[in-house]
Each structure stands twice: as structure tokens, then as C-alpha cells.
Amino acid sequence: MITECPILIGIFNGFSWIRCEGKGSFLNSPLMKAFGDERIAAGETCLVVDLGGCSGMDSTFMGTLAGMAARLSGHDGGVLQIADSGTRNRRSLEDLGLDFLLDIDPPAAPWRGNVDLIRGSLTPPQLTKNIASSLQRTQHVLEAHQTLVETNDHNAREFSNVVKLLENELAEKQKRQENPTNS
């Protein structure tokens, strides 16, 4: 069981909350995705990602946000909101065109005025295993970058080589897993 985690979560009336403390990266985005997917499957239509303690985000983390936003938009009125983005993180999201998928610092959000109370009641997610396999991590990073590529033409140009490299890496890992004696 992991006791310290840079992702904290909470379920509230009308929304679920995910707080990233420290850098949002390929290391903690699988955990964020797992909780988000669980809540979406449970019928949640509003996920809030709190970036107030987030020192920066890599492209995998942002691609994971975009993927969750896309899955939520498939639900009637579903939305992914960003709380306390800060200038640097807002700029990073806008640079990738994600401000069109995400509701960044919405002024009329139902959680406004309760952020300190919400943050005080967050807990680390309960995990049964520490780290995803290398194959699962590669798959996650690939999916996040594929989402970014699908978002707009700029991202397609920016990340197409990354996607190709990750596809090749994933294929190689799958081949090794299928034929472990040939590696």
C-alpha cells in the first residue's frame, strides 16, 4: 500500500476532486486516470483537477487530462474543470490547445468558496499495487500522446515522432512479453 502520493482525491456532492501536488507527470498520471475513469464509470459528470500545488506538467499528464475531458464530454453535460491553474500551468494547457477541452478556473463552479474545506478532506487513493508494468506505462504514455495529436494540427506536428517512437517501443515490449526466451 502506498502511504505517500502526489495525487489526492475526494468525492463530493456534484463533483469528484483530484489534486496534484508536485509535478504532474507520466509517473502520477496513471493514478489520476484510474480514479477519473472509476468516477466516470460511476456516472460522475464533473471532475475537478486541482493544480494549486502542481509545480508543472509534462505532456503525458496533459494528454491524460485531455483524454479524461474527452470521455466526460461523451456524458450529457460532462466537464473536466481545472482549479487554481496558476499562470505557468494555464499557459502550458493553452499552448497545447487544451483550454478548448477543459474548463479552466471557472468563476461559477459549484466548488468556489469551498476550496480550503475540500483540500482539507482529500485523501490518497488506496492502491493495491505500487507501479504499473513497463508495458502498461508505455501504453499509458502512448495513449496520452495520441490524444494530444488528435486534439489539433499543432500537436499532431509536435508529437507525431513521439507517438511513432512509443508505438515502436510498445510493439517491441509486446513481442518480448510474448516470446520471453528470445529477448
The answer as to whether 141 is a domain residue is no
| Tens digit of each residue's pLDDT (9 = 90 or more) over 54-102 | 999 999 999 999 999 999 998 778 999 999 999 999 999 999 999 999 9
Confidence of residue 3 (pLDDT cuts 50, 70, 90): very low
The answer as to whether 43 is a domain residue is yes
Confidence of residue 162 (pLDDT cuts 50, 70, 90): very high
- pLDDT at residue 4 in the model: 47
- pLDDT at residue 126 in the model: 80
- pLDDT at residue 182 in the model: 60
Residue-range definition of the domain harbouring residue 36: 7-130
The answer as to whether 116 is a domain residue is yes
What is the grid cell recorded at 29?
498520471
% the chain with pLDDT above 70: 93
What is the grid cell recorded at 42?
460511476
CA angle (83, 3, 8) in 5-degree steps? 10
Residue 21 phi/psi, 5° resolution? Answer: -110, 125
The answer as to whether 158 is a domain residue is no
| Tens digit of each residue's pLDDT (9 = 90 or more) over 123-149 | 998 864 445 688 899 999 999 999 999
Task: Give the closest residue to 89 by CA, choosing from 51, 59, 116, 127.
Answer: 51
CATH number of the domain enclosing 111: 3.30.750.24
**Domain total of the chain:** 1
- pLDDT at residue 178 in the model: 87
The answer as to whether 78 is a domain residue is yes
SS3 125: coil
Q: Count the alpha carbons within 13 Å of 17 in the hemisphere toward its beta carbon.
A: 29
Task: Give the closest residue to 163 by CA, choosing from 141, 182, 179, 183.
Answer: 141
Mean of the pLDDT values across residues 117-124?
A: 96
The answer as to whether 76 is a domain residue is yes
Q: Cβ of 146: how many Cβ atoms within 10 Å? A: 17
- pLDDT at residue 51 in the model: 98
Calculate the alpha carbon distances from 23 to 19, 48, 133 in Å: 11, 17, 21
The answer as to whether 2 is a domain residue is no
* Distance (Å, whole) CA 163 – CA 168: 9
The more confidently predicted of residues 76 and 26 is 26
- pLDDT at residue 1 in the model: 37
